Structure 1
């Protein structure tokens, strides 16, 4: 199959809306987002390339063959590459027609021209087709990411059983107008996730861009401070997304400054997370955790979370 590719300008509102629509269609079909928030954030800021793929010879809905401009409104696939990573999503109604393999070949050629070193790619959720494409392209699995879920009916019990906040810490809500809040959050996040390939690298600009997302609510970002000196010791951040009667509360990220490790702050912040989530009356409760993070997995399992989906990161090392 021959696809037409075009680089999307993140300032092109119409094109970005078509990308988000494709991602949303794929998430509804697959049960998990096909492109991570970090990849989309990087693409929107221009630090990763965003490529749309069209083929006006394929008439999947009666429009593409008759209207050459239809592709720009409804691409067959979208890829993101840069910073050593690659993501690809194919529109659900054209899968199995060779779109994925053709788009991947194009992205790999572009990525190799830009930086021919090691390249990582995600297969989000249980996705045998994506895994097969990556394996044929020379990738091997290197990392596992779990999405955990908590039965909303279990939420009240999980809140009641949660660890209380230690007396030497106090809680406050994130204040968007307070520059110290943002600066201390970036610092503590970097320390808490120093070994994490994505979360640990969040910059001031990244944090500002995340706060500009439609789902951001400052009351869902809870800070824990050391009572003795006022320093930020940890935080928990909830992402709440509403779609009609459906309310998904995701533990977006929970971090503790390593200086305060071993004092029960992480478990107590999880309790605060669950309490805040209960105020949203969620119909779905989720979080993502790296498969190698045994401590976090144990913490969430004790609270009643179970594995919902498994995603795999693949590596192609050209060296």
Structure 2
């Protein structure tokens, strides 16, 4: 039987802080985040609904931490259950209540090797439609020659430089180039300048980790690479957050160039872990990363449910 939950909807500063804390706890337990950065960003902007679930009849008071959180909107659903509360029907109950607020076709990720999440989605009428690989690189394979990433030779007419927060044109240039590079990508390609501004407020953001391949002269970009560096108590992880090249610059070897720049910049952080995420169906990108000695570390799957699934959202635990 599913647990009895009460849902609180809203994205106040406190609600977002509680959601991020629960997501971080789940990521530490599972080895991968149960919720995408884009989903949290959209909730913070009011574009998706943030739900915090507590057990009905539990301890009263506003200080009670949620046992699960859900994010829904823009055709997507994300769900995370506190690790210590799993195995009691919390996930089933939270998913049912979240789905009750939804209309139309929905998509959801089961992150990492997660049979329990996939079973929940299958019972709710979802089917797998897309794969995502997390790839990892042995940090010992990063460049050891101390090279300056901005000194990597670029083709004529292009130059490498770091994002400059004091240069207003840089934000718009990056958003335009990113949208062009990821025009067919369902998440990355729709980042707006408002989204980008919020992303730069994240504690992990460093301007020098966002390297632009700029047209010279000119303000437009041919591409960019962005590294997410997360520093824990005893570990530093560098993630290749996003690397892209404008379609009109394809065929010039710029993807390989930007990957070389990425690895040189990562080496400056002396990370304990090096990772990236790539669509499993993007065989060209997977081959590029494999050529650089990345290997598949884990696989995630995206699941979809049609607008009318005919499935009862009241599920057993």
Equivalent of 2:277 in 288, 310, 319: 288
Equivalent of 1:299 in 288, 297, 308: 288
Q: Match of 2:302? A: 313
Query: 1:57-72 residue pairs with structure 2 within 5 A?
Result: 57=57, 65=58, 67-69=59-61, 72=63
Equivalent of 1:2 in 1, 4, 14: 4
RMSD (Å) for aligned C-alpha atoms? 1.9
CA displacement at 1:226 relative to structure 2 = 2.7
CA displacement at 1:212 relative to structure 2 = 1.2
1:153 equivalent to 2:160? Answer: no
Q: Match of 1:26? A: 26
SS at match of 2:92: helix
CA displacement at 1:318 relative to structure 2 = 2.2
2:216, 2:162 → 1: CA distance? Answer: 15
The size of the alignment, in residue pairs, is 303
Contact 1:158 1:274 in 2 (8 A): no
Equivalent of 2:74 in 83, 90, 111: 83
Gaps of 5+ in 2: 309-317
Q: Match of 2:98? A: 107
2:43, 2:60 → 1: CA distance? Answer: 25
Kindly indicate which of the two structures has a greater share of residues assigned to helix.
1
TM-score computed with the length of structure 1 as normaliser: 0.90
* Cα deviations by residue, 1:258-297 (Å, 9 ceiling, x for unpaired): 1100001110011000000100000010111111111111
CA displacement at 1:139 relative to structure 2 = 0.3
Q: Match of 1:251? A: 240
**More moved, 164-173 vs 129-138:** 164-173
1:95 equivalent to 2:86? Answer: yes
CA displacement at 1:2 relative to structure 2 = 1.3
1:29, 1:101 → 2: CA distance? Answer: 20
Q: Match of 2:257? A: 268
Gaps of 5+ in 1: 58-64
CA displacement at 1:171 relative to structure 2 = 0.6
Contact 2:33 2:111 in 1 (8 A): yes
TM-score computed with the length of structure 2 as normaliser: 0.91
Q: Match of 2:127? A: 140
* Cα deviations by residue, 1:158-196 (Å, 9 ceiling, x for unpaired): 999x98533442111111121211111111111100000
Between the two structures, name the one with larger relative contact order (CA 8 Å, sep ≥ 6).
2
